[in-house]
Amino acid sequence: MPVAWPSRANPRLLVELQYLLHRHIISSVIPAALLALLVVWTLDDASNPWPLRLWGVAVIASKLFSAWVGRQQLRRGVPLEDARRNVLWLIVLNAIDGAVWGGLAWVTLGSSTLTGSILVVSVIGGIAGSSMSSLSPVFPAFVAFLVCLLAALASKLWTLGDPAYDALGVAGVLYAASLLGQSRNSAEAARQAITLRFENVELIERLRQETTYAQAQRQAAEQANVAKSRFLAAASHDLRQPIHAQGLFLGVLGRSALSGPQAEALANARATWQASAEMLDTLLDFSRIEAGVVEPQRRAFALQPLLHKLELELAPQADAKGLVYRSIDTEAVVNSDPSLLELVLRNLVSNAIRYTEQGGVLVGCRRRTDHWLLEVWDTGVGIPASQHQAIFLEFHQLGNAERDRRKGLGLGLAIAQGLARALGHPLSLASRPGQGSVFRLTLPQASAALGMAAEDGWAALPEGEDFEVDTALNNVRVLVIDDDETVRAGMRQMLTGWACLCDTAESIEEALALARVRPPGLVISDYRLRGHRTGAEAIAALRAELGDTLPALLVTGDTDPARLREAHDSGVALLHKPVSPAQLHQRMQGVLRAAAQAATPPVT
């Protein structure tokens, strides 16, 4: 690539090349001065010493002046607009320096001995060679130096009229041509090195800017995610309160004498309530995963009862869409948390039914060497390979731009993956658009004996509203703490219908005042109370007043991960709104039973 001097060169590049040349000149001052003094001392002729000595002074003065100019420009910097003009000054300065060094030939040749003439020619040749390396960054400056140096030498040799000197002049021209070629290559190398440095600096700066931008984007995304979580938590809490109260009132109505049309209307209202509760429970499941409060309770159990249970519950949804739902019987015994595994499988099967329009859904289990593969097959729309990772993101749905609520919230697969990760069960996907999908869950194998021993422990909280209220809760005084008047009214009617004695309070102070007059046998408190107080604080205050064995339940509508961790860490039994009457009844019985067993002295 040709060296562009000086009109087409980049001003920034010219400035850097000038700085490099000035540093070279400054470092060459002392060697050049010592060489000039050595030449003067060696060739000094007592008969006519002044021309040689004046030459020595001129050489040293020229080098010192060039060095001073260089120091000034290095210290002050060269403005970009002055870069090309400075190149012209360097050409002039180095042309003068070359003429001064070439003047040695006029001072000494023809009057010195043969040895002195050899020394002069050698000095001039050496100076030309050393100047090539120091001046090549600014190629025109070296050209000016070399032309003036050789012009002075050649003109002197021409005047001597000796063929030997003529041959020496021709050799000098060839030597100069060689130096020009080397200097051009050196100039190009310096230019490329500085250009590369510019590119690296620009790349580093661009990388720094992009890193800063990426960090800003990441912080913005994190802030948006936090804001999203807070919004969802607040919205979920505010929605759970009326839906929770609605469930309580529906439970009270369900135990009333109703006509046929009234019972049908109540059934429809319950179905609507159940649909709303399921959506809120989906948000809760996702929030529990985010909060890290999911603690698997692994044990060995047979998988077939779970498959049978899900088929009974979900097959009607497939039938309603004209799909075939089938689960293959299996003898698999796995080591997992049955409740969490049920939730994972429920989300996978529900997702398969939701996105399959014809064909069917198949659930089966394959044995491998030391594990089982639980698979959910469907003949649905399929998932493009580019979306295999995205579909596990929260609120991400394919083919639901209109956000049809019948297709869910887009959290099912995110919950399934989060729970599978918490359980340590790898979840994978294989799919082809238009042909369907298969989700595979890897489950650790357990012995059949352990599975049979654990199978009796398979149970779940009742989900229906029609259950028998026994006498276990008769005359139990229950203190309900909730800052929502509607919830307190619903709880009072529900508990009174169960033959409980019910007191309600909206604050910790009111609860303490009631407890001192009528000590409760059970406390049910909402987690979030007014004044940034919590139900955990209320229960702690009541236990400090009435004893640490006071049975208690926490009920929360919060889905904020931090609040969920706080409630989980309180150590008090926890229910999540909306709570069905059946769930509340069973949990109250469990808490009272556990308190009674703890109070019974051991038999010795």
Sign (positive/negative) of CA torsion 338, 431, 393, 219?
A: positive
* Alpha-carbon separation of residue 512 from 290, 389, 591 (angstroms): 35, 52, 21
Reading the block at residue 571, the tokens are 């150590």
Q: How far apart are CA 315 and CA 155, in angstroms?
A: 110
3-state secondary structure of 375: strand
Backbone φ, ψ for residue 478 (5° rounding) = -110, 130
- Contact predicate 158/150, CB 8 Å: no
Please provide residue 429's backbone torsions phi and psi, each rounded to the nearest 5 degrees: -140, 135
- How is 236-279 classified by DSSP, letter by letter? HHHHHHHHHHHHHHHHHHHTS---HHHHHHHHHHHHHHHHHHHH
CA distance 583 to 585: 5
Three-state secondary-structure class, residue 189 = helix
Which pTM does this prediction carry? Answer: 0.45
- Can you give the pLDDT at residue 453? 42
Are 87 and 14 in contact by the 8 Å Cβ rule? The answer is yes
SS3 content of the chain, % helix, strand, coil (to 5): 65, 10, 25
Task: With CA atoms as reference, report the closest residue to 449 among 351, 352, 331.
Answer: 331
229 contacts: CB under 8 Å, gap ≥ 6? 287, 290, 560, 561
Q: What is the mean pLDDT of each run of 10 residues along the chain (604 residues)?
A: 53 81 85 87 73 87 87 82 81 88 82 77 84 83 86 80 74 80 80 81 87 86 71 61 70 73 73 62 56 69 88 86 89 86 86 87 88 90 73 55 46 77 86 86 76 42 53 88 88 89 92 93 89 89 90 80 68 80 87 81 56
What φ, ψ does residue 78 adopt, rounded to 5°?
-110, 115
168 within 8 A of 121, measured Cβ to Cβ: yes
For residues 501 and 522, the answer to whether their CB atoms sit within 8 Å is no
| β-bridge partners, 480 | 504, 524
Task: Return the pLDDT at 179.
Answer: 81
Backbone angles phi, psi at 270, to 5 degrees: -65, -40
| Tokens, residue 532 | 């940034």
CB atoms within 10 A of CB 338: 23
Task: Give the type of residue at 551.
Answer: P
Cα dihedral across residues 133, 138, 143, 149: positive or negative: negative
Crossing angle of helices 561-569 and 260-291, rounded to 10°: 90
DSSP state of 401: T
Residue 39 CA to residue 53 CA, distance in Å, equals 10
